[in-house]
Amino acid sequence: MRIGAISDTHDRLPTLDRGLAILRDRGVEIIVHPGDVIAPFAAKRLLAWTGPLYITYGNNDGERAGLKAVLPQIQDGPLWFEADNRRILVHHFLDWCAAEDIDQADIIITGHTHQVVNLQKNGKLFLNPGECCGWLYGRCTVAVLETRSLTAEIIEVPQ
C-alpha cells in the first residue's frame, strides 16, 4: 500500500496544493499529515483529498477549534492506525513519542523539525517528510511510503 506523507505546510497554499497533487499522481491510498497546517483556510485544501486522511495537531496549530471544524478527524498525537498489517504511529514531533509507543510501531511518521528523515532502524521505518512549505530550509518535500517494503521516497515539490 502507498501512503503519502505531507507535513509542516504552514499555510503555504501553492506548495500544499502541489504536494497533494504529487501524492494523488503517485497513487497513494492514504494521506498522513503530522501537523502544522496552521489555519482553517489552509485545512480546507486537504478536503480535496477524498481518501483516508490521518492528521495530528502540531505545535503551531493554534486555532484548534477552527481546524477541528474543517477536519473533524484531527487530533493530538499519538495517532495510531493500521495499513497492510503495519502499525503506524503518527505524532508531530518524534521527541513527543513515548518509548513504548515506538516499540509497538512498525512505522513512525513525524514532522516538526522541517528536516527529512527516512531511516530504517531496528526493523522500523522512521519518516519525516520534511517541510512542504519550504520556508525554513528552502526545500519543499513530501514522501510516498510503501508499506510492504517498509521504504519511502522523498519527492521535491516545486516552489
Helices in the chain by DSSP H: which ranges?
13-25, 40-43, 64-70, 99-104
Pairing of strands 124-129, 116-121: antiparallel
CA separation, residue 135 to residues 41, 51, 63, 101, 132 (Å): 19, 28, 20, 31, 8
Residue 132's pLDDT is 98
Looking from the CA of 89 toward its CB, the CA atoms found within 13 Å total 21
Residue 48's pLDDT is 93
Looking from the CA of 125 toward its CB, the CA atoms found within 13 Å total 23
Residue 107's pLDDT is 98
Q: To which residue does cell 478527524 refer?
A: 73
Q: How is domain 2-156 classified at the CATH fold level?
A: Purple Acid Phosphatase; chain A, domain 2 (3.60.21)
Which portions of the chain are predicted below pLDDT 70? none
81 beta partners: 88
Q: Give dist(CA 144, CA 25) in Å, integer.
A: 11
Residue 85's pLDDT is 97
At residue 137, what are phi and psi to the nearest 5 degrees? Answer: -115, 0
Strand order in the sheet with 30-33: 53-55, 30-33, 2-5, 141-146, 151-156
Q: Give dist(CA 40, CA 42) in Å, integer.
A: 5
